[in-house]
Amino acid sequence: MSMVQVMDFAPPPVQEREIYRYAGCREADEGVRTLLQACLGEAGKVLQYRVCWAKVACHAEKGVCDFGVFSVASEALAKNLQDCREAVLFAATVGVGMDRLIARYQRLSPAKAVMLQAIGAERAESLCNAFCDWLQQQNQKLRPRFSPGYGDVPLSVQKDFFILLQCEKNLGLYLNESLLMSPSKSVTAFIGVEGE
């Protein structure tokens, strides 16, 4: 297993269509576009873009994925990681400031709160994409990322991620008894690394 690494990223380009999709907007009129720009301005002051990750050995066979440090029983993940000898396990967050901003506007302006929720989701996804792009620039050929709770991967695998990556120390990222992450605009995922 490689050492856990922590990286900060510059803000990735904003995907406005994705934000509208997360917000449930099929069409954005002038009022919605104005709201989005105002929310992006406020969010930009509190967002951070941080990832911690480690590369581990990977062996996927008969519905079980062995990462050396822990194993996961999952047909879907085993299929995704088939023939990969290594995997990158990572956690990414856009920080607690976004949760605080959303909570503030849930009382003051529900419309802003909805837009900020959508911005937070898009920003977290864009951060994950930026991290995957960075890995590919390191000459890594990657499989699609796969998160705990997706398909038949148990959400309880979050605990293994948090122990392995020391998420509390490295990202200020916490896991509650219901296995939900705080800050909420955070992601954990497996990425298979294809051999040469």
pLDDT of amino acid 21 = 95
For range 151-169, the mean pLDDT: 95
pLDDT tens, residue by residue, 14-56: 999 999 999 999 888 999 999 999 999 999 999 999 999 999 9
For range 169-181, the mean pLDDT: 95
Q: Which residues of 139-173 are buried (b: 16+ CB within 10 A; e: fewer)?
A: eeebbebbbbeeeebeeebbebbbebbebeebbeb
Q: Domains along the chain?
A: 5-194 (3.40.109.40)
Question: Which pTM does this prediction carry?
Answer: 0.94
